[in-house]
Amino acid sequence: MKPNNKKISKFLSLVLRHKPETIGLCLDENGWAETQELLERLAKHNKSIDLKTLEEVVANNDKKRFAFNADRTKIRASQGHSVRVNLGYTAVEPPEMLYHGTATRFLDSIQKQGLLKGNRHQVHLSKDLNTATAVGRRHGKVVVMKVKALEMYQAGFEFFVSENQVWLTDQVPVEYLEF
């Protein structure tokens, strides 16, 4: 991704996941914003980009954080919101194991409380070890835990998969973690 597009992507994460009010944007109940309104609001806040650049940022984001609707008139973040939205994902059966990467400084708390969603809507999990390691590395010295996802599912916990293949669940109790 081009350096400027990376800055745009980070700002889009802020307004589409956490603080749409930063540019006076309104998200609907499912997290969608009108694409044209987003572009207009960005321009009013000295972050002017055109539709082609926005499409490039969405298409080339390494984590596929954003998605357009079918006719590209709306855009949203795929997951990771701290604002209240209903992404409309349907519960699905997870694989036997999923992974969660974080920093070692959080390990004591996780060993006591399990994985909690914190200020996000859900806990984020990865299907593969490499992705979990990359996510954990962003937070410091990395530790990756295995999550007994299928066992959790069979015990009544729900799992969802976002558009960018991030697995989501409300919590992961300690007994379902392997450190």
CATH number at residue 15: 1.10.10.970
pLDDT(1) > 70: no
Q: What is the pLDDT of residues 120-154, one digit of tens each?
A: 889 999 999 999 999 999 989 999 999 999 999 99
- pTM here is 0.80
Which amino acid, 164?
Answer: N
Say which residue the tokens 């984001």 belong to: 61
pLDDT(51) > 70: yes
Q: Which domain holds residue 170?
A: 98-178
- Average pLDDT of the chain is 95
Helix and strand tally (H, E) in the chain? 6, 11
pLDDT(163) > 90: no
CATH number at residue 108: 3.20.170.30
**pLDDT for position 104:** 97
102: left (phi over 0), alpha (psi -120 to 50) or beta: beta
Which amino acid, 40?
Answer: E
